[in-house]
């Protein structure tokens, strides 16, 4: 991409995604309670722009500390098609030590070993209720840190049917004399579904590092069917700061290869569909293109000289997400680039109407384009 075209594309991205913009639609943030456990649910910005589209689910433990930065990073990464748009639900355990530990240890008989019971609660009360109330796709990711990272490790090994992928940040794998790594062979479950598991460690000496290294070595020595695992070390981070980096890198690793157009090699709509069909076979789940994917891929195609491709992608985007002010505005830009003045004005007017109705964070940018087209 030459400098002029890159600056033009960057300027447009900043126009569509203005710096410092904040979501203003309160219905995207929902608080609920399940059996006394508070849940915080964040729906994607495009959730109400379609009646049919389903989203993968990300469950985050220790939500009171982790929800905000995870939500922001998911929205940023999905905006540029690095990962899919996701429904995020976070929660805190009522008894952290008991709920997140897989075994009972001496001296803590009444306060440990509740992971099996807690995983049943997650399945029956949280996952099932979310699936009944929201458009949740059949692809689920779970994330935890420290003791909750021990629990997500337990889920990846013992409960592969609950989640397709797990993120374990600075997990307390030392628990019960390294119980999980010592008993790795017992998790060789027949007909185990494919699970992706990301483990990370910060600059943490002592039992944290020892437990992490023992698990890494055990996984290398003991191959478990359909368990794909990744490890990462954050040498400049502490136990407390590790989640900020671990969640981002974990999502990037789990969805490695998800972006169909990471650079400038643009694709037509037909080629994009082929790409995601192949990706779906690798993941065991059929990924549908989200609003931001249509937007990014369509704009890149238009600015890289493939206007017909860009218009076709964006038109399909507005069909899939008919109430997306962002996509209608981008389509107006592509029409204008192609000198389809009337179509551009009509798309821009539709974008403006939707932006007002949606109380969209993109309203100022959409209004400016509409006024420019009128002039």
How confident is the model over 80-116, as pLDDT tens digits? 999 999 999 999 999 999 999 999 999 898 999 999 9
pLDDT of amino acid 345: 97
Residue 245 shares a structural domain with residue 294: no
Residue 266 lies in a domain: no
Please, which residues bridge with residue 31 across strands? 40
Per-residue model confidence as pLDDT tens digits over 156-165: 999 999 999 9
Residue 119 shares a structural domain with residue 210: yes
Residue 93 shares a structural domain with residue 228: yes
Residue 102 shares a structural domain with residue 134: yes
Residue 64 lies in a domain: yes
Range of the domain at 165: 35-254
Q: Are strands 136-145 and 195-202 parallel, antiparallel or unpaired?
A: unpaired
Rounded mean pLDDT of 345-350?
98
Considering the chain, what percentage of its residues have pLDDT values greater than 70?
93
Residue 245 shares a structural domain with residue 275: no
Residue 16 lies in a domain: no
Q: Residue 375 — pLDDT band, cuts 50, 70, 90? A: confident
pLDDT of amino acid 8: 41
Residue 23 lies in a domain: no
Residue 218 shares a structural domain with residue 312: no
pLDDT at 43 over 50: yes
Q: 254, 288, 319: which is the final residue of a domain?
A: 254
Residue 92 shares a structural domain with residue 213: yes
User: What is the Cα gyration radius of the chain?
Assistant: 23
- Total domains in the chain come to 2
Q: Residue 119 — pLDDT band, cuts 50, 70, 90? A: very high
Rounded mean pLDDT of 279-307?
94
Give the Cα separation of 291 and 321 in Å (integer).
Answer: 7
pLDDT of amino acid 33: 87
Residue 120 shares a structural domain with residue 211: yes
Residue 71 shares a structural domain with residue 176: yes
pLDDT of amino acid 299: 97
pLDDT of amino acid 5: 43
Residue 281 shares a structural domain with residue 137: no
CATH number where 248 lies: 3.40.50.1820
How far apart, in Å, do the first and last CA atoms of the chain sit? 30
Residue 227 shares a structural domain with residue 276: no
Residue 279 shares a structural domain with residue 199: no
pLDDT of amino acid 264: 83
Q: Residue 257 — pLDDT band, cuts 50, 70, 90? A: very high
């Amino acid at each position: 991409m030459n400098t002029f075209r890159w600056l033009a594309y960057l300027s447009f991205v900043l126009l569509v995604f203005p710096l410092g913009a904040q979501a203003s639609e309160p219905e995207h943030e929902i608080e609920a309670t399940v059996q006394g456990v508070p849940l915080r649910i964040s729906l994607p910005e495009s959730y109400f722009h379609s009646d049919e589209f389903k989203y993968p689910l990300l469950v985050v433990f220790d939500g009171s500390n982790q929800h905000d930065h995870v939500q922001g990073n998911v929205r940023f990464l999905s905006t540029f098609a690095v990962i899919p748009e996701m429904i995020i639900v976070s929660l805190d355990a009522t008894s952290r030590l008991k709920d997140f530990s897989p075994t009972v240890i001496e001296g803590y008989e009444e306060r440990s070993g509740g992971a099996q019971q807690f995983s049943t609660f997650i399945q029956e009360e949280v996952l099932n209720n979310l699936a009944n109330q929201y458009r949740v796709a059949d692809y689920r990711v779970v994330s935890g840190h420290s003791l909750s990272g021990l629990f997500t490790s337990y889920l990846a090994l013992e409960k592969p049917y609950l989640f397709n992928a797990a993120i374990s940040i600075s997990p307390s794998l030392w628990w019960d004399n390294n119980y999980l790594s010592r008993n790795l062979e017992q998790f060789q479950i027949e007909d185990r579904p494919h699970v992706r598991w990301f483990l990370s460690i910060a600059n943490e000496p002592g039992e944290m590092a020892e437990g992490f290294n023992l698990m890494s070595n055990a996984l290398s020595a003991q191959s478990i069917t359909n368990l794909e695992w990744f490890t990462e070390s954050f040498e400049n981070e502490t136990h407390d700061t590790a989640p900020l980096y671990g969640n981002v890198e974990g999502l990037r690793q789990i969805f490695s290869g998800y972006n169909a157009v990471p650079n400038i090699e643009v694709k037509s709509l037909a080629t994009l569909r082929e790409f995601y069909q192949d990706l779906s076979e690798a993941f065991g789940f059929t990924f549908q293109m989200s609003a931001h994917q249509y937007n990014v891929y369509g704009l890149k195609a238009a600015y890289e000289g493939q206007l017909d491709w860009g218009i076709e992608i964006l038109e399909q985007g507005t069909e899939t997400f008919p109430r997306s002010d962002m996509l209608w505005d981008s389509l107006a830009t592509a029409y204008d680039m192609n000198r389809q003045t009337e179509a551009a004005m009509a798309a821009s007017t539709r974008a403006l109407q939707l932006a007002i109705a949606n109380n969209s964070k993109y309203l100022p940018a959409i209004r400016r384009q509409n006024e420019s087209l009128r002039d």
